[in-house]
């Protein structure tokens, strides 16, 4: 199983997650197009590998609809991190 922290360490994977926050149910083609617009020079194969890492650690889920594979953000692993290290809201550092 891929560690969530390792998955988040990569800038391209964080960009993919940012993209999925704004719009769920996104295809590989759409992800590649949006990343190309933002200047990410990753190939379709590289993006596909990044999606595999994100799926393996649970940060995204995928569903095949006909010949298309759609990708959705899953924030549950991030919530687990905040439960492990809760933020002190009392204002002390």
pTM: 0.84
Beta bridge partners of 26: 71
Using one digit for the tens of pLDDT, what is the confidence trace for 12-68? 999 999 999 988 799 999 999 999 998 887 899 999 999 999 999 999 999 999 999
Q: Are 51 and 58 in contact, with CB atoms under 8 Å apart? A: no
- pLDDT band of 92, cuts 50, 70, 90: low
Distances (CA, A) of 10 to 14, 38, 53, 65, 91: 6, 16, 10, 28, 31
Beta bridge partners of 60: 73
Which domains does the chain possess? Answer: 4-84 (1.10.10.10)
Predicted confidence (pLDDT) at residue 93 exceeds the cutoff of 60? no
In Å, how far are 16, 54, 71 from 21, measured between CA atoms?
A: 9, 14, 11
Tokens at 74, concatenated: 């899953």
């Amino acid at each position: 199983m891929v560690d969530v922290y390792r998955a988040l360490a990569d800038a391209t994977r964080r960009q993919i997650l940012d993209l999925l926050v704004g719009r769920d149910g996104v295809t590989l083609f759409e992800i590649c197009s949006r990343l190309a617009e933002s200047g990410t020079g990753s190939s379709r194969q590289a993006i596909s590998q990044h999606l595999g890492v994100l799926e393996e650690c649970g940060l995204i889920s995928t569903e095949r609809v006909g010949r298309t594979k759609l990708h959705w953000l899953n924030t549950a692993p991030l919530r687990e991190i905040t439960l492990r290290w809760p933020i002190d809201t009392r204002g002390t550092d």
